[in-house]
Structure 1
Amino acid sequence: MRKTAAWPLAWIYAVLIIYASLYPFESWRVQGIAPWSFLWAPLPKYWTGFDVLSNVLGYAPLGFLLALALHRTRRDWPGILIATLVAMALSLSMETLQMFLPVRVPSNVDAVLNVVGAWLGAVTARTLAWVGLIERWSRFRDRWFISDAGGALVLLAVWPMALLFPVPVAFGLGQVLERVEAALADVLVGTPWLEWMPLREVELQPLLPISEMLCVAIGLCLPCWLAFSVLRETRQRILAALALLILGVAASALSAALTYGPVHAWGWISDEVAIGLCVAAFGVVGLIFASARMCLVMALVALVWQMSLLNNASADAYFTLTLQTWERGQFIRFHGLIQWMGWLWPYATLIHLVRRLSSAKSMVMG
């Protein structure tokens, strides 16, 4: 069985579909009718081209990834049929569960369009395989990346999207402690367990300039060092580092443009951020010739350091106000999906780094 990043990407995308379909996960109720009654309900009277396009395109990547994963691991299986059936089961499940949510409206048309989108995605994957593009990608991956590069490639693919949600510190993903504590306190209000929460003697304070500079530098170095750990040649590392640095800066600029307006696309580059960018460039160059294990160790140490700095600091009031404005919108946020990517990416990376280092140690000991 050939390893492929398509499987974890398909799982991640399926989770995103579930999240987007059932958001905001509140006010569940039973209507007193069969949950699947939407299947034979009259067709909706009002629909737009955007509704059709969004439902088709929403499931197309799932069908594509499932068919691609099956092609690369189970070539004797009917990938298009299986991918379409899995997407159909997921779509029908989501539409059925929406019957219990007052803010969501299940639709038989949506279910059909979702299945059509998944089928088109699966056909696209099969067509690419038929013309040989999948095999070309396989040869490219074998030439550039080690065989166990799937997890790193998934993390690298998610990283630019995670940067689209505003963060208090540029490239400082995973700053969640303050919000987790506030959310937990709201849940425990009126219960005796509220007194069990640990209390700080001093409130969290914003980062010092030097700490902000370090967080910026680490945030840019991390994906580069992660890529270095799975690339085969020095030339490939140089090209990957350039691409990741440009992509990270571009994603941050796009986030600022969407948050504050296109005029302020580069307003996030303060003196601390500019110095952090320079430090990141030196950090990346410094490990160009390092071993894969050294890159993993440095990435792990730097990630833990960055998470400690970020989660022992608070966001300033201006950023909090901006975030509230952003969270009321729907564009690019996708019901908070991008925000969750930014929150969870460092922790998923931490698990990946520990797993890689543990497996490498086991091989050495064996």
Structure 2
Amino acid sequence: MTEHTPATPLPPEPAAPTVSQPATPPLRRPSPITRATLLAYLCLIVYASWFPFSGWHNQGLSPFIFLETMKMPRWWTMFDAVTNVIGYIPLGTLIVYALYPRIKGVWALLIAAVCGALVSGTMEAVQTFLPTRVSSNLDFYTNAIGCALGGVFGVLSARRLLDLSQLQQLRQAWFAPHASQGLVLMALWPLAQIYPQNFLYGLGQLLPILSDWLSELLDQEIDLASLIRPDVDLTVEQYWLSETIITACGMVGAGLTLLCLLRKPAPRGLLVAAMIAASVVVKALASALLFAPENAFVWVTPGAEGGFLIGAIMLAGLTYAPHVAQRRLAIITLLLGLAIINTTPANPYFVATLQTWVQGKFLNFNGAAQFLSLLWPLFAVWFLWLPSHKLNAAKVS
């Protein structure tokens, strides 16, 4: 009988050497903020280039007459040339940012340069149908150069600003994922204060513009405001009350719109205060530049002061209210402000001050500023009316 010895266990196989896997780079995605900003800036360029949108007719000129000569225009200034270059630099930069990261480098620069030339050429060609505007080869070339320079800056800064920027980290930490369009909207609110207005934060006075357009279209005098409001003179107290409500509604509506975009960790009060402070600074600088330095604070009236105080108190109390309540109150205040601003007669003192405003070289700039002043409240209401899941994303901490 043979004796069986237990089998000697085999030594364990040596573990296969582990190969350290490189860390997966963060996924680069297009920036919706830059694309929304690009769309908004294109709208501003169109409005500024074709303002005041009246007197359209064929003057018997070729739309491309500005390309048929290489001579400089008879009347031009260095101010005009520099302004045209500067005005198109953001367009080139935003085009490159909107293409990133799918298209970058030299190809993005070429696309930006070609798009800048096409946009500028289109603006100049359409101006041949506007008797108040003059198409110019100088404008075309300087705008195209500005867009190309903006494209160069965009190519050099895209990775640092869009991938590695601390601002991008704050964007993700403080703001809701779907807040991109809202951020563009809120960045434009202080700029909307540039155009002279009857009242502080009295944006959206559409009836006078619509009346002028309808009067020209129908070839008869039309005043839509007189059809809506009663033909009575307001007392000083009633006028101040209207001004107070308009200022408070505009301030609260904008502040609540910003609050709807914020996450819980964001410094809400500080961000709202910074936005309002920016609007005051822009308003004062614009008043001093467009009129005279002594008129920098001509808009500070008893009604504006009262509305500003009421607005600050309301925003302080609603800073940590539920987002649904903030969104609904923002819509209500914006619509209420639109209703009152379009039914309150103009301040005679403001009308007299406006007569001293010589637009001159700022015609294009003023057209863009008026565009913001008229349509910002409508854009804000439209944004707040979007499907609630986009705004409710701000609740995520």
TM-score by length of 2: 0.79
Question: For the structure 1 residues 53 and 289, does the alpha-carbon distance in structure 2 shift closer, same or farther, using more than 3 Å as the test?
Answer: same
Alignment partner, residue 11 of structure 1: 39
| Structure with the higher helix share, 1 or 2 | 1
Partner residue, 2:125: 96
**Superposed CA RMSD:** 3.2
Partners in 2 of 1:213 and 1:334 — Cα distance?
Answer: 29
Q: Which residue of 2 aligns with 1:29?
A: 58
Match of 1:364 in 2: none
Aligned counterpart for 1:133 among listed residues 161, 172, 183: 161
Q: Deviations along 1:337-360, whole A, 9 cap, x unmatched? A: 212211111111111111154866
Cα distance per residue 1:306-365 (max 9 Å; x no partner): 22222221112222233343365443872432122111111111111111548669xxxx
* SS, match of residue 386 in structure 2: helix
- Deviates further, 142-151 or 171-180: 171-180
- The gaps in structure 1 that reach 5 residues or longer are 362-366
Q: Is the 8 A contact 2:45 2:368 kept in 1?
A: no
Cα deviation, 1:133-154, whole Å, max 9, x if unaligned, reads 3221322211221111112111
Instruction: Report how far residue 260 of structure 1 moved.
Output: 4.8
Instruction: Report what 1:162 is aligned to.
Output: 192
Listed as ranges, the matches of 1:176-195 within 5 Å are 176-181=206-211, 183-185=213-215, 187-189=217-219
Tell me the equivalent position of 1:336. Answer: 367
Contact 2:88–2:116 (CA under 8 A) maintained in structure 1: yes
Amino acid at match of 1:70: L
Which segment drifts farther, 66-75 or 325-334?
A: 325-334
Distance 1:327 1:333 in 2: 13
Q: Which blocks of at least 5 consecutive residues in structure 2 are unaligned?
A: 1-28, 393-397
Q: In 2, Cα distance between the equivalents of 1:161 and 1:151? A: 16
Deviations along 1:70-103, one digit per CA (max 9) or x if unpaired, are 1156569932222222112112222333444455
1:354 and 2:382 aligned: no
Give the secondary-structure state (helix, strand or coil) at the position aligned to 2:231: coil
Distance 2:340 2:138 in 1: 49
Q: Structure 1 residue 41 and structure 2 residue 69: aligned?
A: yes
Q: Is the 8 A contact 1:67 1:79 kept in 2?
A: yes
The alignment partner of 1:355 has SS state of coil
Aligned residues: 358
Q: CA deviation at 1:62?
A: 0.7
Q: Deviations over 1:204-263 (max 9, x none)?
A: 655543332222122122222111111113552122112012112222322432455222
| Aligned equivalent of 1:252, options 266, 274, 283 | 283
The 1:292/1:126 distance shift into structure 2, 3 A limit, reads farther
| Higher CA-based Rg | 2
C-alpha distance in 2 between matches for 1:335 and 1:126: 30
Question: Which secondary structure state, in structure 2, belongs to the residue aligned with residue 78 of structure 1?
Answer: helix
